[in-house]
Amino acid sequence: DRILVIHGPNLNLLGMREPEIYGSETLLDINRKLTGIAKKGSADIAFFQSNAESRLVDRIQEAMTDGTSFIIINPAAYTHTSIAMRDALAATRLPFIEIHLSNIFSRETFRHHSYFSDMALGVISGLGSKGYELALEYALTVRR
Ligand code: DQA
């Protein structure tokens, strides 16, 4: 019974990357906060970030056999392009919440479409790193 948090491409740069859009917190800051929330809920949490689509697909596939019961994912730019990651998530049959730090609907039109949203349990977009925390709190309430 584990919650898996997946961060897509360029999210390793959080804190330095367009902070007016993505905030000043680093990925480590966010993961640390999530670790604290998981600990309080005595939940097992794992984190994965990659800039490579194939590594993200591989990690999602691993969730089928590593005890993962819930996924929180920010596919970043692959949100708008990756049928491969979508198919991997579908294969897991696991519930997931899609996160975006920014409000993708208030930005360029190419960000308005997501290959994930119709399959997601829910989508949080525009609440910054708080979105991850809210998703985790939700995951803790539905945990098996
Ligand atoms: C993002 C939004 C995407 O459009 C963008 O490519 C990202 C981050 C977000 O968290 O707001 O890299 O997923």
Q: What is the ipTM of this complex?
A: 0.99
Under DSSP, the state recorded for 143 is: -
pLDDT for the residue numbered 15: 94
Atom of ligand 1 nearest to the CA of 80: 4
Whole-model pTM above 0.95?
Answer: yes
Judge whether 80 and 13 are in contact, CB under 8 Å. no
Q: How open is the CA angle 50-84-103, to the nearest 5 degrees?
A: 65
pLDDT in tens, 87-122: 999 999 999 999 999 999 999 999 999 999 999 999
Per-residue pLDDT at 135: 98
Cα(119) to centroid(ligand 1), Å: 18
Rounded to 10°, the helix 27-40/130-142 angle is 30
Alpha helices, DSSP H only, in 23-129? 27-40, 53-62, 83-92
Distance from Cα 47 to the centre of ligand 1, integer Å: 18
CATH topology of domain 2-142: Rossmann fold (3.40.50)
Residues of the chain with pLDDT under 70: 144
| Residues at CB less than 6 angstroms from ligand 1 | 10, 74, 76-77, 79, 100-102, 104, 111
Tell me the domain boundaries of the chain.
Answer: 2-142
| Per-residue model confidence (pLDDT) at position 113 | 98
- Residue 143's pLDDT is 73
Residue 130 CB neighbour total at 10 angstroms: 14
